[in-house]
Copies of this chain bind each other. A is one copy, B any other.
Amino acid sequence: MIVLPLQKGSNAERSKHRNRQAILGQLRTAGAMGRAEIARALSLTTQTVSNIIAELSQDGLLLEMGRVSAGRGLPAIQYALNPEGGYALGIEVRPDAIFAALLDMHGKAVATERIAVTQAQPDVVMTHVKALYARALDQVPNARHRTLGAGIVMPGPFGETGITGMGSDLPGWQEVDAETLFEEAIGLPVVLSNDANAAAMAERINGVAQDITSYAYLYFGAGLGLGLVHGGHLVRGAYGNAGEIGHIPVPGQSGNLEDALSRLSVQRHLQLAGKDAHNVDTLDQFFQQNDPDLMAWLTSASAALGHAMAIVENMFDPQTVILGGAMPDAILDHLVAHAPLPDLSVSNRPNAPHPRLMRGASGRMTATLGAAALILNRALSSPISHAH
């Protein structure tokens, strides 16, 4: 997965493809618009936009919303993304279960499926994934020939690294080319990603980051993950393993960030007190009951979160940091409210337009939805970074 310095040339066809994407992306972020308005936003002529809009309409990707008058002149015909114009499949592979979700172009989940598994070897997973996709399509007949691709979420890190074999990765997957395997199994273009990255994109497509282009997402999976988005695109690192924040040592304590701040951490902590909290709902109940052991954990977790904020903010200078993943919303809210935000941070600026830390909005299936969001994001934005 090494990044090559390749810089492809451009031609008329590629330009057109880019402009199609740009128009779709513009309609997604800014809502319904007229053609002239789109043209101004993208520095194109109205004629060009008109031509492309005609094609997109033909392809069923747009909805005409009628004319809306705004001041003088001919009122513009408003166009909006047709949610049923395309779909994206999201697959999340965990050691004990496989999740699938089908998202429409608005990022709404129109079908969700899950299946419990006892084994997660590649061949077993492929069989299940095929079945889940078929079941999702049965619910949404429209989607059969309109699915743009599949995003797959699997526990990282990918490839052999210094944190391989620490329990979070799946057995039997080290040697295989997962991307090709999935591509052949479901017959769609595939994007592979870890849970934190996917969750980060879920917020961008259908959560609190819809108008935020540079942010970090702290994700409660088994451990603690981080998804980095810069200029609307994921920062994956040279080998796709950027954001392994859980393994960074914590000041003042022995151990790593995820020893204090993760699902495993809270489970372990409560287990020492003889309490079982393997379930998110159980955890929520403990919190509602003000369970003293949970509260003790929250105190140390808040401190660790404060430290994570110092690292993330000073390293990436994001617009905001979003907290989410496999935790009850109430606990996430508590952490957001109680984490000590570091004073010594570039993000500690007056009149910041966004809160420094906020809770994600995508709920429990975040990673699965995020997997699909990776596909939507690719369909709706070209890999061009912001102009300076």
| A residues adjacent to B (C-beta < 8 A) | 2-12, 14-15, 18-19, 21-23, 25-26, 29, 41-44, 48, 157, 159-163, 191, 211, 213-215, 226, 228, 230-233, 235-245, 247-253, 256, 307, 310-312, 314-319, 342-350, 353, 378, 381-388
Contact = CB atoms under 8 A, between A and B. Distances in A.
A169 B356 CA distance: 23
A355 to B, nearest CB: 14
B384 A249 contact: no
A15 B16 CA distance: 11
Contacts of A6: 41, 386-387
A76 to B, nearest CB: 18
A245 to B, nearest CB: 6
A18 B242 CA distance: 29
Nearest to A156: B346
Contacts of A310: 247-249
Contacts of A244: 314-315, 317, 345-346
Nearest to A10: B15
Contacts of A26: 7
Nearest to A247: B344
B9 A48 contact: yes
Given A307-B249, A347-B162, A242 B316 contact: yes
Contacts of A344: 162-163, 247, 256
Contacts of A311: 248, 311, 315
Contact of A385 (B19, B250, B343, B385): B385
A319 B248 contact: no
A346 B306 CA distance: 23
Stoichiometry, as copies per complex, reads 2
A161 B9 contact: no
Contact of A250 (B8, B11, B251): B251
Contact of A162 (B211, B233, B242, B348): B348
Find the residue from A4, A6, A232 having the highest chain B CB count within 10 A.
A6
A343 B315 CA distance: 21
A86 to B, nearest CB: 18
A169 B15 CA distance: 43
Contacts of A23: 9
A387 B9 contact: no
B5 A232 contact: yes
B213 A314 contact: no
A333 B145 CA distance: 59
B241 A44 contact: no
Nearest to A244: B314
A377 to B, nearest CB: 11
Contact of A240 (B18, B41, B307, B317): B317
Contacts of A318: 237-238
A14 B387 CA distance: 13
22 contacts: A3-B386, A5-B386, A6-B41, A8-B384, A8-B387, A9-B18, A9-B42, A10-B18, A12-B12, A12-B15, A15-B15, A161-B347, A162-B343, A162-B348, A191-B388, A237-B318, A244-B345, A245-B314, A247-B345, A315-B315, A383-B385, A384-B385
A244 B310 CA distance: 10
A231 B233 CA distance: 12
A239 B350 CA distance: 13
